Amino acid sequence: MGDQVKSRFRMFERKGGVFYWQDNDTSQQGSFGTKHKHTALKLLHAKNEAYEQPILNLALARAYATAHGHRCTEFTRRCRSVAIEGISLHSYRHASAQRAKSAGYPQRFAQAALGHSSRAVHEAYARDAIVICPAL
């Protein structure tokens, strides 16, 4: 139970306050292009998720991290630029809720992470999740 999954990428700050990432396996480095730690942490998390799920990439993560009023527009524009159709930021919220339920993530934590105001709202988002119970 105490096993922790090692992240592929880590974050550090250089002189000037710009945040960078480093690949733990290859020591390759790159810039997040921001001086805001909160934004850099979001991008780092998305980069680690993208490594586990190839359909995501850093460009889509940047779209998610943009200002609230422009997220949907930016997300849609980036999807079109890489020829991904039939997906919206809202469908990504559904997928996140379903994935959390399928993985056995505690509902109250998933609900808080997605910003759902009530349990009923969260259950509506996660309703189509396929949950496989392991054998005892």
What residues pair up with 22 in beta bridges, in sequence order? 10, 29
Annotated domain spans of the chain:
8-87, 88-136
pLDDT digits (tens, 9 = 90+) for 28-49: 888 888 888 888 888 888 777 7
Task: Say yes or no to pLDDT of 1 above 50.
Answer: no
**For the purposes of burial, counting CB atoms within 10 Å of the CB of 91, is it exposed (0-12), middle (13-18) or buried (19 or more)?**
exposed
> Over the range 26-64, which residues count as b (16 or more CB within 10 Å of their CB) and which as e?
eeeeeebebeeeebbebbbebbbebeeeeebbeebbbbb
Give the Cα separation of 80 and 57 in Å (integer): 14
Query: Any idea of the CA torsion for 101, 105, 111, 112, to the nearest 10 degrees?
Result: -160
Per-residue pLDDT at 6: 67
Q: What mean pLDDT, rounded, does the chain reach? A: 75
pLDDT digits (tens, 9 = 90+) for 46-77: 777 766 664 445 555 555 555 556 777 777 78
Average confidence (pLDDT) over 126-136: 70
Determine the 3-state secondary structure of 63 from DSSP.
helix
Is the whole-model pTM more than 0.75? Answer: no
